Amino acid sequence: MATGTKLTSRTRAKNVNQPRKGRERERKPYLFTAAQALKMAEAGVFDGAGKVELWDGAFYKMTKYEPHNAVITQVIIALRAVVPKDYQARQEASCSADPLSLPEPDVMVYRGGPWDHFDGPPPPLSGMELLVEVNYSTPEDYSRRLSKYAQGGVPTYWVVDVDARNVAVFTKPQAEVAPARYSELKTFSRGEEIAVVLGGQPCGTVRVSDFFPPEPEKG
């Protein structure tokens, strides 16, 4: 008669909770494509879920706080005052980056008409002239998002920092390096103006002070 270890209730539970060797290494996450995400949105899959963003195949819930929302509003007002009529300045809208990503920059500026993408896919990241992220304690604006936008060849990327009350302007993307990045950075503070450059041509300036609430009076 063959001999072996008796399968008691304790050993049975242990075996159930401990997968066979190598099984965990075979498990892989299911990644969604941008095309699937758009179809899911049209079908109402995300209704009631709030804002979500597809990033490298995974969905992330986006939580926006009031300081963030207030600053975005001021940025879009300032930009729309100087952006030419043949450009669009959109707020918190998706753009096509790669087969697994649909990033939603806080503000995007690109050449085109208001109805160019009404019945079609979002505008491509490669067509963006200026992207703006309002940073409210979000380190990825300076790393993960920066790299994605540089890889897409976006010529100018702003990070409007709510806490520091300044604007980091990144230019000259380097998509050929890993990770992709921008080779030039200049930071603008209160009292300074930023030139808005679209298609390689300056079209006006915006004041950093207009993006933030007044400084509290010193008593």
Predicted pLDDT of residue 21: 55
Cβ atoms < 10 Å from Cβ of 51: 12
Alpha-carbon distance of 162 to 184, in angstroms, equals 21
Predicted pLDDT of residue 9: 46
pLDDT category, 150, cuts 50, 70, 90?
A: very high
Beta bridge partners of 206: 194
Please say if the pLDDT value at position 11 is more than 80: no
Give residue 218's Cα distance to chain centre: 36
What average pLDDT does the chain have? 88
Predicted pLDDT of residue 103: 94
- The pTM of this model reads 0.84
Read off the pLDDT of each residue in 123-128 and give the average, rounded to a whole number: 95
Residue 86 backbone dihedrals phi, psi, to 5 degrees: -90, 15
pLDDT category, 2, cuts 50, 70, 90?
A: very low
Read off the pLDDT of each residue in 122-132 and give the average, rounded to a whole number: 96
- The answer to whether 59 touches 32, Cβ cutoff 8 Å, is yes
Report pLDDT digits (tens) over 23-78.
556 778 899 999 999 999 889 898 877 788 999 999 988 888 899 999 999 999 99
Q: Helix or strand or coil: residue 132?
A: strand
Read off the pLDDT of each residue in 119-140 and give the average, rounded to a whole number: 92
Report pLDDT digits (tens) over 179-194.
999 999 999 999 999 9
- The answer to whether 135 touches 166, Cβ cutoff 8 Å, is no
Predicted pLDDT of residue 12: 45
Report pLDDT digits (tens) over 85-112.
999 999 999 999 999 999 999 999 999 9
Q: What is the CA radius of gyration of the chain?
A: 23
Q: How far apart are the first and last CA of the chain?
A: 92
Which architecture characterizes domain 64-211 according to CATH?
Alpha-Beta Complex (3.90)
pLDDT category, 3, cuts 50, 70, 90?
A: very low
Read off the pLDDT of each residue in 117-133 and give the average, rounded to a whole number: 93
Predicted pLDDT of residue 211: 97
Domain edges within the chain:
64-211
Alpha-carbon distance of 162 to 23, in angstroms, equals 46
Share of the chain above pLDDT 90, in %: 71
The DSSP code for 97 is -
